[in-house]
Amino acid sequence: MAVGVKWPDLVARVQTLASGAGRRILGITGAPGAGKSTLARRLVDGLGGAAVLVGMDGYHLAQAQLERLGRAARKGAPDTFDAAGYVALLHRLRTPDAGTVYAPEFRRAIEEPIAGAIAVPPDVPLVVTEGNYLLLDTEPWSAVRGLLDEVWFLAPDEHTRRAWLTARHRRYGRTPEQAAARTAGSDERNARLIAPTAGRADLILDPTYWPHRATEPYSGFRTSN
């Protein structure tokens, strides 16, 4: 069951992670449209140089590969990612003497990953990673959970999540009909796959409890709720 955690309490928890010994990795997961990237970005922005955001979506297979494999229509499903590559990245991020690690980034405007777009310097104490399949228990995804110090599962009510997701599709140029079809089609299939993984999370959170969907930015980490 999702719980409502006040924003200052969430901030305190992530600050504790960032101040621990060595590097920590926080995972944020949930179904498509749950608010993962929005929350992750605002947590990282609030911590300044103490955190870097590395998204799982950077390991989307390129569109050309999806078409070659016959998986383009299912883009976003578990087998449309380089999951082994993502696991390898997490291993590198946990290695103390790895130096600066470069990670790919998924650009929604072009629907393609960009290699080496994110730099993670060796002195950054916290990496926040977000994506749909952090808690999936099938290989190679099953290796992800053990590489994360904490995982938060975002679980807004389904009506709200679908509305957020459809609005996101519209922002990236889909027609109302296309956006609704994507939300009800492949995204919904993926959401049903992800839902049972919530039990492996450290926290199951209702993101409607704090204003991370507000049009104005958070007032840093000074927000009181």
Question: What domains can you pick out in the chain, each with its CATH number?
Answer: 7-209 (3.40.50.300)
Kindly report, residue by residue over 185-195, the tens digit of the pLDDT. 788 889 999 99
Using alpha carbons, select from 56, 135, 132 the residue that is nearest to residue 88: 56
Kindly report, residue by residue over 10-36, the tens digit of the pLDDT. 889 999 999 988 999 999 999 998 999
Highest mean pLDDT among 36-50, 130-144, 175-189, 211-225: 130-144
Phi, psi of 4 (to 5 degrees): -90, 110
DSSP states along 16-71: HHHTSSS-EEEEEEESTTSSHHHHHHHHHHHHGGGEEE--GGGGBPPHHHHHHHT-
pLDDT surpassing 90 at residue 108: no
pTM above 0.75? yes
Kindly report, residue by residue over 41-93, the tens digit of the pLDDT. 999 999 989 999 999 999 999 999 999 999 998 999 999 999 999 999 999 99
Hey, what amino acid is at 221? F
DSSP states along the chain: --B---HHHHHHHHHHHHTSSS-EEEEEEESTTSSHHHHHHHHHHHHGGGEEE--GGGGBPPHHHHHHHT-GGGTTSGGGB-HHHHHHHHHHHH-TT--SEEEEEEETTTTEEEEEEEEE-TT--EEEEE-TTTT--STTGGGTGGG-SEEEEE---HHHHHHHHHHHHHHTT--HHHHHHHHHTHHHHHHHHHGGGGGGSSEEE-GGGTTTT-SSPP-TT----
Residue 62 and residue 168: Cα distance in Å, rounded?
Answer: 21
Indicate the burial class of 42 (C-beta count within 10 angstroms; 0-12, 13-18, 19 or more). Answer: buried
Q: Report, as an integer, the average pLDDT of 136-145.
A: 97
Kindly report, residue by residue over 157-214, the tens digit of the pLDDT. 888 888 888 888 888 778 888 888 777 778 888 999 999 999 999 999 988 876 544 3
Residue 194 and residue 188: Cα distance in Å, rounded?
Answer: 10
The model's confidence at residue 2, banded by pLDDT at 50, 70 and 90, is low
pLDDT of residue 222: 37
pLDDT of residue 221: 44
Hey, what amino acid is at 79? D
